[in-house]
């Protein structure tokens, strides 16, 4: 049996797991916490010799003992597919080979890696440990031609003692890596199938006597004030040493002790407690001496005083109730795949903190060990998930096939054991997760028992333990709002977490506010993790024109899951998307509500769990028609967590027009992740306002001329032409400028967003909503005093089927060229279901590239995703109002727009007025092109702007793998009527 097809064989010569730490030569160096400055550390990361083979046996025998001078090079860390070797494939839950555990393809892609290094005399007398922080999937190592061991478990560290195989001077390391192994069945985690040495490789030198392991735990007294620091240490030798330890608060020594005791406890009076809002860390220094008093090494550890408990079915940290507002995070880089740099990892954490996120789930595997250090320092509660997902078995109807097979128990347990041991000293980790989507069975029970045996201080999570038989947390994924409300009303005896929800694929997710309202309502609902943090698409920079992001199927891979990997709150290059900005607002830690905004009465609620509001200021501005009337700063009182208080401000000044009170919540002081005056949230409250109708220019009645095939209307510096054949406004010229490129067209469909794909495939395409036809049924032209009315009746319906809309375009044109347009329709036939929208589109002159509007912004917003956008006056280049998702789809909508202008650099253009408010978007591409295009870079700008002026738009939902659009945000094929006024814009009447 091949070693890589034997689930009983997990390793050879791999060292037992232990906590991640480093030893330093002295205390001063130890305080740097820089592992490269530890007493013996040599990084082997960099450029290695490499060759790729289709089969493990193709690796030449000489590889193991001879340096392959003629081979090419590869970067370590790295995935070999991202460096031009092998094949990329993306599947969500399918194994890319026949499911027949433990067997994998005989033609097993193999990477042969080599590096040379020189070991100096300073390494004499050291035990030399070779450490790999991550290798995917199976690997075996050879040192100077001798076999040194093998390991499995891609996202878990592996260490080998190679002392006896080394030379003083030059050494050769050869590593054979196989992409597929029995372990692959445990690592089907909704990501690109890639392979290689993707995390750092380094040597650690250890003295004959050294610290092998450290376990630090903290607990509080009943009052949650004074703490106990407990420490257990393992030393490599039974005799010949003594320990000294000191606890520091910065430079100040608080406690010290020592001796030959390996387990000790110390009382710490009223320490500053660690939490995600105040991640305060102390420093524990453990110094190891020999019997002669010589310092052998110093081990530094960051210590956060933190305790987790469950009382009456609720979770507490440091005796405080809390809720986890989190995200699921994969390792991903648009150029490097899972071989992420620590700079990128740190930026992920900074972005999370900037967007009010207080927790992260390491979906679905352990991260680089330095990730947890950053979470300790920046302040994130971590659900630390281990490297288990057997999702591929869902396709053969038995998700629990190996999860409930005792023959695989050792493989399952090994993963949680190594994970917990490695990260057990991090205060940021409050929950261990046993894995993801692997069914349920004896091996989950065994994992939970081993996890609890190693660390009884933290909670255990596993989503498919639905009855919480072995877990401390009840969990589901993608439960709808109504179901979460029921869970809250009828709670179980343990806290509940929604470990995945609101699938952020493409344009979305929608419905976050409704989810949050339910979460806030019920105490037992204590956490939710949005799926997911980052799009996994791969940048293709070397293509003609604009670079694009590739996804499943773009590499000839089949089967594949398409763009299902583009489901993140940030784009692959870490740019925040609209969904992240919405999530930030929805989970804002400071809520502001209006008691009576016009009277200056507001209510503030502190939704932090550990912090007061004594460093928070409200920046309050009264605006009318987009102009500022007054700005005031209101520092908040030190309101305790969970409390509300009325705040009185000066009454907003009066003024004409649309008045709003805008409230921005500002953090006064700089933090590790944000500058001073960082905005936490924004709120808006409508004030009593006066509406103004569009200015009416006095002019003589327009001249109507009838021709055989059209009607021509002329007036003050304009003319319009209406086609008798179609009823369409086919020409509109004002001041010599053609305004229209495509006639106004009623529409009930739009380019499908990812979160509507299920409705699109099951409902809209079968109903041919995408190919509706418009047929003229009547046209009447009437002089009406100083105006001309053109009334066009038409039928809009699909081929084949017997339903549709009987619609009317009612144009009213005055002598100044103002066009009042009333659009209406009545459905017929049997179809009354949900549709994407009711609206109108038209094409306008491409030179009108500047936009100004009064409505909701500045970003795109939809009925169920608008919390972070407020109504105001905005200016933008038209091109900047298009949101470039990796896969083109409907985007860029702005709600509650009462007027908008499109103009050129001279102020000429088109004005739209809709006092009742409409949805407005402008695209450089037609809807047809957007709908038909696979990648953003394939879009070609049209010679006109597509302008959408819509009456109703369905919400986004998250039904690419989450919740359908809620009923209150659905648009149905039903009777409608709405009106717009379109006017030519010039310098005389411009805004």
Q: How far is CA 750 from CA 653, 833, 926, 928, 932, in A?
A: 42, 16, 10, 8, 11
Output the six-digit token pair for 871. Answer: 């109504």
Q: What length does the chain have?
A: 991
Question: How far apart, in whole angstroms, are the C-alpha atoms of residue 587 and residue 566?
Answer: 23
Cβ atoms of 883 and 904 closer than 8 Å: no
**In degrees rounded to 5, what are phi and psi of residue 331?**
-70, 125
Q: Same structural domain for residues 181 and 75?
A: yes
pLDDT tens for each residue of 774-832: 999 999 999 999 999 999 999 999 999 999 999 999 999 999 999 999 999 999 999 99
**Domain of residue 655, CATH code:** 2.60.40.10
Residue 697's pLDDT band (cuts 50, 70, 90): low
Indicate if the pLDDT at residue 633 is higher than 60.
Answer: yes
Residue 991's pLDDT band (cuts 50, 70, 90): very low
Mean pLDDT for the stretch of residues 416-420: 98
Say if 23 falls within a structural domain: no
Q: What is the dihedral of CA 467, 471, 472, 478, to 10 degrees?
A: -60
Catalytic residue among 389, 500, 514, 759: 500
Which pLDDT belongs to residue 990?
Answer: 53
Question: How far apart, in whole angstroms, are the C-alpha atoms of residue 608 and residue 581?
Answer: 19
Cβ atoms of 136 and 195 closer than 8 Å: yes
Q: Which domain holds residue 593?
A: 589-686
The percentage of residues in the chain with a pLDDT greater than 70, rounded to a whole number, is 99
Q: Same structural domain for residues 138 and 221?
A: no
Output the six-digit token pair for 322. Answer: 């809390």
Mean pLDDT for the stretch of residues 676-700: 85
Which pLDDT belongs to residue 563?
Answer: 97
Say if 517 falls within a structural domain: no
Which pLDDT belongs to residue 695?
Answer: 62
Question: How far apart, in whole angstroms, are the C-alpha atoms of residue 403 and residue 413?
Answer: 11
Say if 618 falls within a structural domain: yes
Q: Same structural domain for residues 722 and 620?
A: no
Which pLDDT belongs to residue 546?
Answer: 82
Q: Same structural domain for residues 46 and 147?
A: yes
Q: Which of 652, 686, 720 is the last residue of a domain?
A: 686
Q: Same structural domain for residues 189 and 223?
A: no
DSSP state of 701: P
Indicate if the pLDDT at residue 989 is higher than 60.
Answer: no
Q: Same structural domain for residues 132 and 220?
A: no
Q: Same structural domain for residues 187 and 216?
A: no
Mean pLDDT for the stretch of residues 45-62: 98
Mean pLDDT for the stretch of residues 661-689: 97
Residue 543's pLDDT band (cuts 50, 70, 90): confident
Q: Same structural domain for residues 202 and 239?
A: no
Residue 692's pLDDT band (cuts 50, 70, 90): low
Which pLDDT belongs to residue 699?
Answer: 82
Q: Same structural domain for residues 54 and 168?
A: yes
Catalytic residue among 437, 582, 852, 964: 437
Which pLDDT belongs to residue 986?
Answer: 86
Residue 988's pLDDT band (cuts 50, 70, 90): low
When divided into structural domains, the chain yields a total of 5
pLDDT tens for each residue of 574-621: 999 999 999 999 999 999 999 999 999 999 999 999 999 999 999 999
Radius of gyration of the CA atoms of the chain, in A: 32
Which pLDDT belongs to residue 541?
Answer: 84
Say if 912 falls within a structural domain: yes
Instruction: Verify cis geometry, omega within 30 degrees of 0, for the bond prior to 559.
Output: yes
Question: How far apart, in whole angstroms, are the C-alpha atoms of residue 523 and residue 342?
Answer: 36
Say if 730 falls within a structural domain: yes
Tell me if residue 277 is catalytic.
no
Q: Which of 455, 470, 503 is the last residue of a domain?
A: 455
Contacts of 253 (CB under 8 A, 6+ apart): 246, 247
How many Å separate Cα 400 from the centre of its chain? Answer: 29
Indicate if the pLDDT at residue 218 is higher than 90.
Answer: yes
Say if 639 falls within a structural domain: yes
Residue 987's pLDDT band (cuts 50, 70, 90): low
Say if 323 falls within a structural domain: no
Paired residues of 143 in beta bridges: 146, 173
pLDDT tens for each residue of 91-137: 999 999 999 999 999 999 999 999 999 999 999 999 999 999 999 99
Tell me if residue 437 is catalytic.
yes
Q: What's the whole-number average pLDDT of the chain?
A: 97
Q: Same structural domain for residues 948 and 846?
A: yes
Q: Same structural domain for residues 391 and 269?
A: no
Q: Which of 206, 232, 263 is the last residue of a domain?
A: 206
Instruction: Verify cis geometry, omega within 30 degrees of 0, for the bond prior to 137.
Output: yes
Q: Same structural domain for residues 843 and 862?
A: yes
Say if 950 falls within a structural domain: yes
């Amino acid at each position: 049996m091949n070693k890589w097809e034997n689930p009983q064989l997990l390793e050879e010569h791999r060292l037992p797991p232990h906590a991640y730490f480093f030893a330093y030569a002295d205390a001063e160096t130890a305080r740097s916490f820089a592992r490269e400055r530890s007493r013996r550390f040599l990084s082997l990361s960099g450029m290695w010799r490499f060759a790729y083979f289709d089969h493990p046996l193709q690796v030449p025998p000489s590889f193991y003992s001879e340096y392959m001078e003629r081979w090419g090079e590869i970067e370590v860390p790295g995935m070999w597919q991202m460096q031009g070797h092998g094949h990329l494939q993306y599947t969500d839950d399918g194994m890319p080979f026949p499911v027949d555990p433990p067997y994998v393809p005989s033609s097993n892609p193999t990477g042969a890696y080599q590096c040379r290094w020189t070991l100096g005399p300073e390494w004499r007398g050291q035990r030399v440990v070779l450490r790999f922080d991550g290798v995917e999937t199976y690997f075996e190592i050879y040192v100077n031609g001798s076999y040194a061991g093998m390991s499995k478990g891609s996202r878990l560290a592996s260490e080998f003692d190679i002392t006896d195989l080394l030379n003083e001077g030059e050494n050769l390391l050869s590593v054979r890596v196989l992409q597929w192994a029995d372990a692959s069945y445990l690592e089907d985690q909704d990501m690109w199938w890639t392979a290689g040495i993707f995390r750092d490789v380094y040597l650690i030198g250890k003295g004959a006597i050294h610290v092998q392991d450290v376990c630090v735990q903290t607990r509080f007294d009943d009052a949650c004030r004074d703490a106990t620091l407990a420490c257990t240490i393992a030393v490599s030798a039974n005799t010949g040493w003594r320990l000294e330890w000191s606890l520091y608060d910065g430079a100040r020594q608080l406690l010290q002790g020592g001796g030959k005791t390996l387990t000790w406890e110390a009382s710490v009076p009223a320490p500053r407690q660690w939490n995600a809002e105040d991640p305060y860390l102390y420093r524990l220094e453990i110094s190891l001496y020999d019997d002669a008093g010589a310092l052998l090494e110093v081990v530094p550890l960051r210590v956060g005083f933190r305790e987790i408990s469950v009382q009456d079915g609720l979770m507490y940290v440091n005796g405080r109730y809390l809720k986890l507002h989190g995200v699921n995070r994969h390792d991903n880089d648009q150029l490097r795949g899972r071989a992420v740099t620590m700079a990128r990892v740190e930026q992920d954490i900074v972005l999370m903190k900037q967007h009010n996120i207080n927790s992260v789930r390491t979906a679905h595997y352990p991260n680089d060990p330095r990730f947890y250090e950053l979470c300790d320092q920046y302040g994130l509660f971590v659900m630390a998930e281990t490297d288990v997902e057997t999702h591929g078995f869902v396709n053969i109807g038995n998700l629990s096939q190996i999860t409930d097979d005792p023959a695989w128990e050792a493989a399952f347990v090994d993963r949680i054991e190594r994970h917990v041991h490695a990260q057990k000293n991090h205060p940021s980790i409050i929950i261990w997760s046993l894995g993801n989507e692997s069914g349920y069975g004896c091996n989950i029970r065994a994992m939970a028992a081993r996890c609890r045996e190693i660390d009884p201080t933290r909670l255990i999570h596993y989503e498919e333990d639905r009855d919480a038989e072995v877990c401390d947390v009840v969990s589901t994924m993608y439960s709808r709002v109504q179901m979460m409300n029921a869970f809250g009303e009828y709670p179980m005896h343990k806290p509940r977490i929604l470990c995945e929800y609101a699938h952020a694929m493409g344009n979305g997710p929608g419905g976050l506010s409704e989810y949050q309202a339910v979460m806030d309502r019920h105490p037992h609902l204590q956490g939710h993790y949005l799926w997911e943090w980052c799009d996994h698409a791969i940048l293709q920079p070397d293509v003609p024109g604009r670079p694009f992001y590739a996804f499943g199927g773009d590499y000839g891979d089949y089967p594949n899951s398409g763009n299902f990997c583009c489901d993140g709150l940030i784009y692959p290059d870490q740019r925040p998307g609209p969904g992240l900005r919405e999530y930030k607002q929805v989970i804002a830690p400071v809520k502001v509500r209006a008691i009576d905004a016009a009277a200056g009465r507001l209510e503030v609620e502190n939704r932090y769990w550990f912090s007061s509001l004594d460093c928070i200021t409200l920046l309050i501005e009264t605006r009318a028609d987009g102009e500022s009337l007054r700005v005031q700063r209101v520092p908040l009182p030190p309101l305790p967590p969970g409390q509300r208080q009325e705040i009185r401000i000066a009454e907003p000044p009066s003024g004409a027009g649309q008045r709003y009170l805008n409230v921005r919540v500002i953090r006064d002081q700089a933090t590790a992740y944000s500058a001073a005056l960082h905005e936490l949230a924004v709120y808006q409250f409508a004030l009593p306002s006066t509406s103004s109708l569009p200015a009416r220019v006095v002019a003589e009645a327009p001249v109507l001329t009838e021709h055989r095939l059209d009607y021509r209307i002329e007036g003050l510096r304009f003319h319009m032409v209406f086609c008798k054949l179609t009823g369409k406004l086919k020409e509109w010229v004002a001041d010599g400028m053609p305004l229209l490129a495509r006639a106004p067209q009623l529409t009930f469909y739009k380019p499908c967003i990812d979160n509507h794909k299920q409705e699109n495939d099951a409902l809209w395409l079968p109903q041919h909503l995408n190919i509706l036809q418009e047929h003229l049924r009547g046209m009447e032209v009437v002089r009406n005093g100083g105006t001309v009315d053109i009334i066009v009746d038409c039928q809009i319906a699909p081929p084949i089927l017997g339903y549709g809309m009987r619609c009317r375009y009612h144009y009213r044109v005055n002598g100044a060229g103002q066009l009042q347009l009333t659009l209406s329709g009545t459905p017929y036939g049997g179809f009354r279901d949900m549709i994407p929208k009711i609206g109108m589109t038209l094409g306008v002159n491409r030179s009108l590239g500047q936009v100004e509007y009064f409505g909701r912004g500045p970003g795109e917003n939809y009925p169920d995703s608008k919390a972070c956008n407020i109504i105001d006056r905005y200016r933008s280049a038209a091109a900047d109002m298009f949101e470039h998702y990796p896969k083109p789809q409907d985007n860029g909508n702005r709600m509650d727009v009462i007027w908008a202008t499109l103009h050129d650099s001279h102020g000429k253009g088109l004005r739209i007025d809709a006092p009742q408010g409409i949805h407005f978007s402008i695209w450089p591409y037609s809807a047809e092109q957007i709908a038909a295009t696979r990648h953003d870079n394939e879009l070609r700008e049209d010679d006109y702007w597509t302008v959408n002026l819509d009456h109703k738009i369905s919400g986004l939902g998250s039904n690419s793998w989450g919740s359908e659009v809620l009923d209150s945000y659905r648009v149905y094929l039903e009777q409608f009527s709405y009106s717009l006024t379109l006017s030519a814009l010039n310098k005389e009447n411009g805004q």
